[in-house]
Structure 1
Amino acid sequence: MKIVIKYDNFEELGYILSNPDYLSMNGRNYGWLCGYENEKLCYIIPFVEKKKWIFRYMQVQSSTIILNGSKQSEKEFLNLAIDKLRQIGKIDFISQPKTNAVFDIYPDNAIYCNFGSYIVDLSINEEELFRNIHMKHRNVIKRAIANGVVIKFGYEVFDDAYDTILDTLYRNNMSMIDKNKLLEFISTNRKSCLIGCSYLDDIPQSAAIILYDNYKGYYFWGGTSENVSLGANNLLHWEIIKKLKSLGVQYYDFVGARIHTNNDRLLGIQRFKSRFGALLQYGYLWKYPIKRWKFDLFNMLYNFKMGKKDIIDEEKNNINI
């Protein structure tokens, strides 16, 4: 297998997570790890390169996109890609990926944790999709409709959606992607973005920004008002499910689920996701120390500055690896 690292320009593959506009939104320097067999492109991992302090590192933006290869050879591709990066010597380490990048396998000697994502199969009919939703979710969806909650989609609700999400993340000491960067991406990729907001008496209650392609819709950003009306967010996601299905999308990915956690807030979020008839896809998050001393030093500085570990190290500690 031949490994090629491509930068800046690449053929259009139809996957939103490998789209150059999406990658440039997440980092100035971006590219694709590519695996070829018999001159045929078989494997792709989109990435961004970042520089912080004295460190230069890579963050992958998606799990392996398999075009013409096999699941059985994915580990070989990952190992060879690591070897290629080590030979070039430009990258100090591969950091924890984005939480949508749930891999089926990890390279040899990687530092990894079990992770997952709740995913709704949109191939079944709408009646069955609704039946699969937990009874409590169905009940509050009906109540929200009866109470006059309205769902709106489109570019015109962007400001309300962004502000609602930003406020939610602020309450939880989390950051949000820059508004101008997101607007720039949406302006050129409107057919890949679904912006939704629930309202009661014209007051925003909950919001979601979904990026999608023909394969998956990804719930990347979402939030609720501090005093959200009962069922408003449930109704929003039910309408998102119907909307994505009507657009021909195959799956709705709620993005990210911890396998080992006792955090009540996280457990509540994951319970909310699972009750939409979503199945938990099990896999791994992984990172890789190409230059070990720099990797260890970065982790020490990061943990000190942030006051916490990354998800991989937290999950490892939760199961005492």
Structure 2
Amino acid sequence: MLIVTKKFIFSVGEVWFDENREALNNVDVVHYRQLLHPIKGGECDEFYTRLIDLTKNQDELWETISSNDRYKIRRAEQKDQVIYEYWKKIDSDILNEFSDFYDSFADQKGLTKINRIQLQNRADAGVIDISRVKLKDGESLVWHVYYRTQNRVRLLHSASLKNNNNTTYQSILGRANRYHHWQDIVRFKNLGIVTYDFGGWYTGNTDREKLGINQFKEKFGGEVVKNFNCVYGITLKGKLYLHLLNIYTRLPQLSLLRRPYFLSHTPKQSQVEASSELEFSIPEAQRE
């Protein structure tokens, strides 16, 4: 599906995975997300992610999870009695509730706040899936937002709020996060979706937090694959967009500033890894 956004003087299209590419005569530039192969003539960067094969039966998927994490998932359901919920129809109230929660999470983590316009555009296109795990009193613990197609779901945002002064809460939060992923996996499998995409994989070896995120994802099984993020200018304005984008990314003094909205879709790997779309909260991942 082609999602079109107007940015300043540019019409910017967004296409995910290897979906059927529609006519592109109404956009200046197209961002291709996570393709199997690079686009000829486009500017492309490698992007690694971890995929789970949902065509396996549920018992196989369950046994793939580490025994310690299976225990935590069961405990979240049976002892913590957390509640899992999702929405068949995403309206503005749900988007705003999630966005407000995510912005608090971003403040806590020192991240950029949610791009509400981008999220709304994706929701309007019918490709956003949102789920949440909460306590019995209704307090939200973890939110997940996915880009969902007929065959694949890709985690875009995961958000939770830590309370380092309450170790019991932190432990519940860690178990709820695992339980949340498992419930999402089962739901998507039952919908006939064949691939669960964790939304990124850190290929470096220096960032301890990202390595911890990798470790968390690895405990759910799956395999690491290489995709490509590409941007392709179609019109003269689209080529201008790419020129401005390249100028921005090459000037170190600008890299410290907030990215202009009309250049907010850069596919560069170093910037994608630092973006909110790949920031993945793992509340006290090592705790019981």
Distance 1:148 1:274, change over 3 A: same
Q: Is residue 119 of structure 1 aligned with residue 51 of structure 2?
A: yes
Deviations 1:256-292 (A, max 9, x none): 3343463333333233223211222212122346766
Gapped runs of 5+ residues in structure 2?
164-169, 260-265, 273-288
Q: Quick one: which amino acid aligns to residue 56 of structure 2?
A: I
Distance 2:153 2:15 in 1: 15
Q: Match of 2:80, SS?
A: coil
TM-score, structure 2 normalization: 0.67
Task: Tell me: higher relative CO, structure 1 or 2? Use CA pairs within 8 A at least 6 residues apart.
Answer: 2
Find 1:174's aligned residue among 104, 112, 126: 112
Q: Is residue 226 of structure 1 aligned with residue 170 of structure 2?
A: no
Gapped runs of 5+ residues in structure 1?
1-17, 19-45, 68-76, 317-321
Name the count of aligned residue pairs: 246
Q: Match of 2:216, SS?
A: helix
Distance 1:116 1:223, change over 3 A: same
Deviations 1:39-84 (A, max 9, x none): xxxxxxx2535434xx6363433133259xxxxxxxxx9xxx9xx9
Deviations 1:14-61 (A, max 9, x none): xxxx1xxxxxxxxxxxxxxxxxxxxxxxxxxx2535434xx6363433
Distance 2:117 2:245 in 1: 28
Distance 1:197 1:124, change over 3 A: same
Q: Quick one: which amino acid aligns to residue 162 of structure 2?
A: E
Distance 1:47 1:139, change over 3 A: same
Distance 1:313 1:220 in 2: 16
1:314 maps to what in 2?
270
Distance 1:59 1:183 in 2: 11
1:125 CA drift (Å): 1.7
Q: Is residue 247 of structure 1 aligned with residue 194 of structure 2?
A: no
Distance 1:315 1:183, change over 3 A: closer
Q: Quick one: which amino acid aligns to residue 113 of structure 1?
A: D
Distance 2:39 2:191 in 1: 35
The answer to whether the 8 A contact 1:154-1:195 is kept is: yes
Distance 1:243 1:182 in 2: 23
Find 1:299's aligned residue among 218, 221, 246: 246
TM-score, structure 1 normalization: 0.61
1:22 maps to what in 2?
none
1:147 CA drift (Å): 3.7
RMSD: 4.0
Q: Quick one: which amino acid aligns to residue 298 of structure 1?
A: L
1:102 CA drift (Å): 1.0
Q: Match of 1:196, SS?
A: strand
Q: Match of 1:137, SS?
A: helix
The answer to whether the 8 A contact 1:160-1:204 is kept is: no
Q: Quick one: which amino acid aligns to residue 115 of structure 1?
A: F
1:65 maps to what in 2?
19
2:284 maps to what in 1?
none
1:204 maps to what in 2?
140
Distance 1:180 1:260 in 2: 28
The answer to whether the 8 A contact 1:113-1:315 is kept is: no
Distance 1:222 1:314, change over 3 A: closer
Find 1:217's aligned residue among 149, 153, 162: 153
1:238 CA drift (Å): 0.6
Larger radius of gyration: 1
